[in-house]
Each structure stands twice: as C-alpha cells, then as structure tokens.
Amino acid sequence: MTLELLPAVDLLDGQAARLVQGVAGTETGYGDPVDAAAGFAAQGARWLHVVDLDAAFGRGPRNRRHLGRIVEAVGPVKVEASGGVRTADDLNALLDLGATRVVIGTAALEDPEWVAEACARHGDGVAVGLDARGRTLQARGWTAAGGDLFEVMVRLEAAGCRRFVHTEVARDGMLTGPATDRLAQVLAATSRPVIASGGVASLDDLRALAALEPDGLEGAIVGKALYAGRFTVADALATLAEAASNPRARAQPSPSPSVGRAPEREGSPPGEPGRGAVHSPPTGEPASGAVHIPPAHTPPSDATGGGRA
C-alpha cells in the first residue's frame, strides 16, 4: 500500500497560517486558504488536513465558512478537519460542511464516553488525535498537559475508535525530521491505522515513514516542508509511490535527531525565530530544483497542524 499524503492547511482568522510547535504568536500568514488547498489538489493530493486554529485555542469556530469553501473548491479531494472539536454539535457541523473525516483531540481526554459514542456512530468518519510531547498528551490547543499517550490510546481502541492521528508536538513546524522511534512504539501498541504528523523536512523523511507502512502507518501530514519549498506535493506523491512499489527504496527509520535547537524561520535573520510574520506565497523559480505550485494556486507555511485538539 502507498502511504497517504495529507498536505496541511491551518486556518487562523480566515487566513492560511502556520505555527511553530503550536505556539500562538509564531504564525506566518499565507493569504486565502482556498488558494493553498486548490494548489495542493492541482498537484494530485487526494486528502487535505485542515485545522481550525482559532477553535483549537478556544476562540470559537471562526473558520467554518472557510472550511466549507475549501471542501467546495477541491472536490473530489477528501478533507480531514480538525481543531476544537469538543461536542457533538462541533463534530456534526464539520461533517455537514463536507469533511470526510473529523479529528477529535481534547475531548478524548475530557469526555472519553462521548468520543467512544462518536466513534461508534460515525465509524471511519472520526479519528482521534493523539498530540503528545513524548508520552504526555497535550490538550486545549496544546496549552495544557493531559494523560499518558499509550494508556489513552489503548482505552480508546478498546472503546472502538478506528483510527489515530499522532503528532509529536516538539517536532511540529521544526523541520527536524519525524519522531520515527516514538512512532514505531505507537504502531506497536495499536492494531488501528495511524497517521503521523510533525517534523517532515525532506523526501528521505517520507521514505523513512513509508518504511513503517507495513507496521500500520497509513498516512503522513506535511506542512512546513511544502511551504518552505523543500519539495512539492507532486515530488512527495512520486516518492511515496516509488517506496510502495520498490521497498528497497524506503529509507529505514533511524533514531530521530535532536530537537534542542530551534530552526531559523523562513524570512528571518539567522538565529532569530521571527514571530507573527506575514509572507507572500512563494513565486518565481524554486530553490534546489523544486517545482512550486503555480501562482494562481499557491500554499501557506510552517508546522503540520496534526490532530490539534
């Protein structure tokens, strides 16, 4: 099977935006999110991962209209929606807007009975987001610590949840490589399919994730690497297809690199992270031979969004 690619589109105040490690104030803005989504779809993406950051931070569902616009613009591409889904009304609203799947995060810690009921009622239409720093789950837009990753996952699997989205928060938007060691532990602890998020920086990172597909990894959410021009959606899809047809082409997962050093932000002086920046979508000739999305359909930047609670 070919690992599924889910390009990320995060929504903040009606704009496409990316955060670093989910921290408010680190956003980089990229304009109309429909342009980003349409650009990814034009390059062959079959799924998009769309996160309402305002809802995740408890500011209310400000971006539902834009989710609906994205769904309408990219069909038949499927949309996985996430961010601030804490009640049945939240879940139903996103499904009614056309989301194929909705990721529930914080509620898995705060209202596990409802989450189990939602999983039973909607089946593959619901996934549970397991956003963690190491073994400790993060809730409320990653602003509060929750339970143990593995204990919660085992409990939810027993309750009938069919799919998990695992985000290593420390890698989110950092371009330091995915946490393949932790991810391997997650896959070993569940029989359910898992989608990985956080840290992908190169095509070799995608090859390393593809090597975990036989163990139950179903997909990879990618954000910053696409927007920083490390590779394109078309490049990623070709790499994953090659890895599926030729297992020898898969890079073997290795211990993930240190995340102690914060990377430089696109458009910032060396050593300065840059906060609240606003960037124009990339145009002109791409760096290092990459091919960018055409100007009419250009995407956003950093962080992968994950199953933001």
Is 235 one of the catalytic residues? no
pLDDT of residue 297: 34
DSSP labels, 38-64: HHHHHTT-SEEEEEEHHHHTTS--TTH
From first CA to last CA, the distance across the chain in angstroms is 29
Is 54 one of the catalytic residues? no
Which residue is listed with tokens 């889904």?
A: 85
Identified catalytic residue from 10, 35, 52, 172: 10
Per-residue burial over 62-83, b if 16 or more Cβ lie within 10 Å, else e, is bbbebbbbbbeebeebbbbbbb
Output the CA torsion sign for 112, 118, 124, 129.
negative
Identified catalytic residue from 54, 90, 131, 302: 131
Is the CATH number of domain 4-254 3.20.20.70?
A: yes
Give 10-residue mean pLDDT values along the chain (309 residues): 96 84 70 95 98 90 96 98 94 98 87 92 95 81 70 92 92 84 96 95 97 97 91 98 85 48 31 38 36 34 45
pLDDT of residue 309: 53
pLDDT of residue 136: 87
pLDDT of residue 145: 63
Closest listed residue to residue 93, CA positions, set 124, 129, 62: 62
The pTM is what?
A: 0.80
